[in-house]
Amino acid sequence: MSERDKILRYYRSSGDVELAAKLLDLAEVTLKNRKYKVSEFLDPYGQSIAETIAAHYDRLTMETNGGYAGAERMKAAFVDTDFLDYAGSLDYCIDTLVIQWDSRYYRPSHRDVLGALMGLGIKREILGDIIMASEQCYVITDTAMAAYIVQNLTEIGQAAVSVSQASLDDIPAKEEKVKEIRSTVASLRLDAVAASGFGTSRTRMAEDIAAAKVKINWQEAKSSSQAVKVGDVISMRGRGRVEVIEVPGQTKKGRYSVLLRRFM
């Protein structure tokens, strides 16, 4: 069985075979032309698939770039190791746009901005991070789509907006509100841990999981009973994400102590 077949077989069981196949195609072209190939924007789970692929080929290394320090969504570059010896900087074809509105009347959210962009027919894979500020936001995008967005994005919801090119150096330092949560849960099931982290009932969380609003490690949650472990990241649409930092042990009543870190 070839390395490609082994990798596809592994990701077929998790439902990610299509992405794995696309990344494998890039890796194999890189090995053939002995240079490099760059993917579309990937979430952290997609990046982990790219890392797995690179690790299976001796002449292949992987680098990432999301346009600024601390980016979550990034492009992966498969690079022939021989090419690294004489190559300059890699061209990831990443541009930055700034979207502005009148903050006296409108306060678009991250979801509003993303919805407006995808309403133009833009795939999520073409877009990197969206960094919100008080009167504007910065959008990381593939260079090929930048001019189209500038010309066609004129409103977000009811808010009239203007879009212009910006420099990657203009992007403000990423700020995230972080809250540590110490709690006890009846079990290390996803619904129990997520309910504690997001401050909701276990029943409501189970409903949200069933409605495909919850991901674990950037993959859609399979079920409420899915087991959670230290290091897992639980994200919820519109609510941010929760990272499982520590599970110190069980209480005398058999409940599990957990330390969670919530990013809002």
Distances (CA, A) of 252 to 181, 183, 208, 255, 264: 20, 14, 31, 7, 32
Q: What is the pLDDT of residue 122?
A: 96
198-225 pLDDT, tens digit per residue, is 999 999 999 999 998 899 988 888 899 9
Q: What is the pLDDT of residue 243?
A: 94
By percentage, how much of the chain surpasses pLDDT 70? Answer: 98
- Domain C-terminal end among 139, 170, 201: 170
78-109 pLDDT, tens digit per residue, is 999 888 777 667 899 999 999 999 988 888 98
Q: Which are the contacts of 73, defined by CB distance < 8 A and separation ≥ 6?
A: 41, 42, 43, 66, 127, 128, 129, 140
Is the same domain home to 110 and 57? no
Lowest mean pLDDT among 11-15, 103-107, 180-184, 238-242: 11-15
Q: Provide the 10 A C-beta neighbour count for residue 20.
A: 22
Q: What is the mean pLDDT of the chain?
A: 91
Domain range for 183 is: 178-263
Cα distance between residue 209 and residue 101, in whole Å = 34
> How many domains does the chain contain in total?
3
- Domain C-terminal end among 47, 64, 84: 84
- Domain C-terminal end among 153, 170, 187: 170
Q: Is residue 147 part of a domain?
A: yes
Q: Provide the 10 A C-beta neighbour count for residue 11.
A: 19
Higher-pLDDT residue of 163 and 222 is: 163
Distances (CA, A) of 150 to 114, 134, 162, 166: 15, 20, 8, 11
- Taking the complete model, does pTM exceed 0.85, yes or no? no
CATH number at residue 22: 3.30.1370.160
Is the same domain home to 259 and 185? yes
Q: Is residue 46 part of a domain?
A: yes
CATH number at residue 158: 3.30.70.330
Q: Which are the contacts of 25, defined by CB distance < 8 A and separation ≥ 6?
A: none
- Mean pLDDT within 13-20: 85
Residue 197 scores a pLDDT above 80: yes
Q: What is the pLDDT of residue 49?
A: 93
Q: What is the pLDDT of residue 240?
A: 85
Is the same domain home to 52 and 111? no
Q: What is the pLDDT of residue 175?
A: 67
Q: What is the pLDDT of residue 263?
A: 85
Listed residue (259, 239, 241, 260) closest to 249, CA to CA: 259
CATH number at residue 236: 3.10.290.10
Is the same domain home to 119 and 65? no
Listed residue (188, 198, 180) closest to 249, CA to CA: 188
Q: Is residue 89 part of a domain?
A: no
Is the same domain home to 78 and 108? no
Is the same domain home to 196 and 258? yes
53-78 pLDDT, tens digit per residue, is 999 988 899 999 999 988 999 999 99
Is the same domain home to 112 and 74? no
Q: Provide the 10 A C-beta neighbour count for residue 39.
A: 24
Is the same domain home to 231 and 183? yes
- Return the ∠ at Cα 155 (arms to 154 and 156), rounded to 5°: 145
119-156 pLDDT, tens digit per residue, is 999 999 999 999 988 789 999 999 999 999 999 999 99
Is the same domain home to 183 and 240? yes
